[in-house]
Amino acid sequence: MKLTVFNGSPRGKGSSTRVLLEHFLHGFMTAGGNTYELVYLNRVREGDKFVNLFQEAEHVLLAFPLYTDCMPAIVKAFIESLESLCGREGNPDIGFMVQGGFPEAIHSRYVEKYLEKLASRLGCRYVGTIIKGGCEGIRARPAKRTRKLFESFYQLGQIYGETGLFDGELVHTLAQPERLPGLLAMLFKLLVKTRFFMSYWDNMLKENDAYEKRFDKPYAR
């Protein structure tokens, strides 16, 4: 298989998306003869190159984070740039990988439906969507806390490299929990309100000069 991989994280090589892709691709390469090309959509000046790569691809994997239930703008811009390829004969098979900070898979289900419809409009065979929540900060976690997660992505890549398909059982297992149990959800809501929990996000806002705008409502009338 020749796989073209688009990393749609604004963080590029410093992203959790890259970490998960790394393990997936290690598994993918265990099948003899497999090759891949990995590009980063945050290199926005290379937009024309991305369209050409998609047009020439045999198999495509588009991976990106979900930020408060929204895909990054660079991913949406890339998708819109493919409009001229809709229904073109010879479009590649396509699969998706969506990771996010919220632990519940329910946050990603609407974008999953959108991606399935996108594949249909492009005329691509839809391989499926890998969903994994609770991924914020995985780069900094101890190895013993990520071992099982990384092994699962390795196995997914291995099976995909051999069959061209995502393993349904693995995809289902990775997506859990669909929703947090009632008591745990209540505890999580209480935790969110604490200063300790919010300090991480506040620091990120400050690093990006957005802290003073954290309560802005640009779409409110």
Q: What is the CATH number of the domain that holds 24?
A: 3.40.50.360
185: left (phi over 0), alpha (psi -120 to 50) or beta: alpha
pLDDT value at residue 185? 67
- Which residue segment(s) compose the domain that 220 sits in? 180-221
Q: What is the pLDDT of residues 170-183, one digit of tens each?
A: 999 999 999 887 77
pLDDT value at residue 99? 97
Same domain, 59 and 92: yes
Same domain, 162 and 204: no
For residue 11, give the H/E element and its range.
none
Same domain, 108 and 217: no
Q: Are 83 and 3 in contact (CB under 8 A)?
A: no
Same domain, 93 and 141: yes
Q: Between 195-207 and 182-192, two packed helices, what is the crossing angle to 10 degrees?
A: 60
Which residues partner with 60 through β-bridges?
4, 94
Cβ-Cβ contacts under 8 Å for 111 (sequence gap 6 or more): 66, 69, 71, 98
CA 165 to each of CA 30, 103, 154, 220: distance values in angstroms, whole numbers, following the listed order = 15, 25, 14, 43
Cβ-Cβ contacts under 8 Å for 179 (sequence gap 6 or more): 104, 106, 185
Same domain, 100 and 17: yes
| Confidence band for 72, pLDDT divided at 50, 70 and 90 | very high
Count Cβ atoms below 10 Å from residue 179 Cβ, excluding itself. 13
Out of 37-51, 64-78, 127-141, the most confident range is 37-51
Same domain, 40 and 74: yes
pLDDT value at residue 132? 97
